[in-house]
Structure formats: structure tokens, C-alpha cells
Amino acid sequence: MKKTFFTGAFVFLSTFLFFYCAKQVDKDTGSTSATFSSINSNIIQAKCITCHATANSGNGNVDLSSYARVIATAGVFSASSPTSSKFFTQINAGLMPLGGSKLSDAQIQAVSDWVTAGALNN
Ligand code: HEC
């Protein structure tokens, strides 16, 4: 009886830990896809918003709080050209997030693909 309880508790905890860790890994390495909603939750909210919640002279006047503000202030434009987008060039060069580690190749690629596709609000 006691053994059954411990086995049950072990299985429960392992399952919980597995899914909890899987979620963390997902957040870090980014199964980020080339849509604004994915980029917003996996990159902007996770790594940029602490410094870019409003535009001010201390953060280059870059406001990443909404799609409209990202387009208007982060030099994304709908130009379909990642290299003319400051949002892309800053993360690609590892300059942003300031003081943090460079985003993963997959995340940088997702931003490039999103801009190339027209930087849509999708
Ligand atoms: C610790 C604070 C901090 C974090 C986190 C941060 N930034 Fe910045 N960002 C700054 C500051 C300060 C500036 C203005 C000075 C500069 O350009 O280095 C700036 C400037 C920028 C600029 C304009 C650069 C230019 O040359 O005009 C862009 C675009 C940008 N950040 C995007 C991002 C993105 C995207 C992220 C998240 C991946 C991010 N930032 C995370 C502090 C931060």
C-alpha cells in the first residue's frame, strides 16, 4: 500500500517536472515562429519589454509595447527587408537585448522571416 503511494507520487512528480522543464526549454530556445504573436510572446515580452515598455531618451525612443509601436519606433517598417530593420539588425548583431545573451539563431531567423513576409500583425 505504502509502496503504491510512493510509486504514484514519483510518477506524478516526474511527469510534472518533465512538462515544466520542457516548457522552460521551449521558452529559451524558442520554438518561435515567424508571426508577430509568437515573436511578441517569445522575444519581446521575454527579453525586451523591461527596457522598452515606453519610448524615452534612455532607450533610443524604442517602444515595443504593441504591434503599432514596434512598427513605428523599432524601425521594422513593412519594407520586407530585414537588413533595413533595426529590430532585426540589433538582435542579429547581438546588440539587443542590451546586457543579455544573444538570441538563438532560430529566433533571429524567425524575426528575419517575419519581416521578409511583410512584418504583418499576425
Ligand atoms: C537592459 C535594457 C534593454 C533591453 C533588455 C533591450 N534594450 Fe533595446 N535599447 C536599450 C537602450 C539603452 C537603447 C538605446 C541605446 C542603444 O542603442 O544602445 C536601446 C535601443 C534599441 C533599438 C534602437 C537602436 C538604434 O540604433 O536606434 C532597438 C531597435 C532595440 N533597442 C531593440 C531591442 C530589442 C528587440 C530587444 C529585445 C530582444 C531589446 N532592445 C532589449 C536597452 C535595452
The DSSP secondary structure of 44-106, one letter per residue, reads IIIIITTT-SS--GGGTT---SSHHHHHHHTT--S-S-GGG-HHHHHHHTT--STTSPPPPHH
Predicted pLDDT of residue 5: 61
Q: 48, 64, 91: which to mutate for ligand 1, most atoms within 8 A of CB?
A: 48
Q: 51 CB under 6 A from ligand 1? A: yes
Q: 47 CB under 6 A from ligand 1? A: yes
Q: How far are the Cα atoms of 89, 99, 100, 103 from residue 96, in angstroms, in the given order?
A: 9, 8, 7, 8
Cell 524604442 sits on residue: 62
Closest C-alpha to ligand 1, atom 35: 87
pLDDT per residue, tens digit, the chain (122 aa), is: 666 666 655 555 555 445 554 444 444 445 899 999 999 999 999 999 999 999 999 999 999 999 999 999 988 887 789 999 999 999 999 999 999 999 999 999 999 999 999 999 99
Picking from 97, 107, 120, the residue whose alpha carbon sits closest to that of residue 51 is 97
Per DSSP, 41 falls in state I
Predicted pLDDT of residue 30: 53
Predicted pLDDT of residue 27: 47
Predicted pLDDT of residue 14: 57
Rounded to the nearest whole angstrom, what is the distance from the C-alpha of residue 96 to the centroid of ligand 1? 5
Q: 52 CB under 6 A from ligand 1? A: yes
Q: 111 CB under 6 A from ligand 1? A: no
Rounded to the nearest whole angstrom, what is the distance from the C-alpha of residue 18 to the centroid of ligand 1? 34
Predicted pLDDT of residue 26: 43
